[in-house]
Amino acid sequence: MKYFITLYLFLIFSGSLVAQEATTSTGGDIHSSDGSSISYTLGQIAYTTISNSDRSFAEGVQQTYNLKVSPVNPDSSDDLSIDCIVFPNPTPNNVTLTIKNADPTVFNYLLYNSTRKLIKQDNIQTNSTEISMVDLPTGVYLLTIRNSKKNIMRIFKIIKDYTR
């Protein structure tokens, strides 16, 4: 009898549960040739923000991120606080790498695919560098920024999407 009461209560209350509901303008799944995949949404208009004095959380929002890697030699004080931005992400064609508070000519970039194979590399000449991904298949790539001493300064995860 307890089994039927528990089942009855479960059926009544499970109809009122809602999980991961979002209103978005578009979204989809990206599948690469190596079997990896990424799910994304764009244009989410409804979400909840929870804040206190030192932290803020946005529930239900997919956010881009970069992976910060400390330099190999922590005693070296040069280039420790560069400000890099990569946009747009996801991208169908090109990404723009912007370096704001450092001399860009002391850096170079390396672009790897998801199997860690080096795809491209080049020296950075200006504060805003366009990196072409037109000829690359859909997938996930890692963009590594290094200084002249070959210390890794930043790593960005780039999603190459198909053209709409």
- Per cent of the chain over pLDDT 70 is 60
Q: Is the pLDDT of residue 164 over 60?
A: no
**Whether the Cβ atoms of residue 160 and residue 90 lie closer than 8 Å to each other:** yes
Provide the pLDDT for residue 43.
Answer: 62
Provide the pLDDT for residue 122.
Answer: 94
pLDDT, tens digit (0-9, with 9 covering 90-100), for 122-153? 999 999 999 999 899 988 899 999 988 888 88
| DSSP SS3 for 15 | coil
Spatial separation of the C-alpha atoms in residues 109 and 147, rounded to whole Å: 9
Domains of the chain: 64-160 (2.60.40.3080)
pTM for the structure as a whole: 0.53
Cα angle vertex 55, ends 54, 56, to 5°? 140
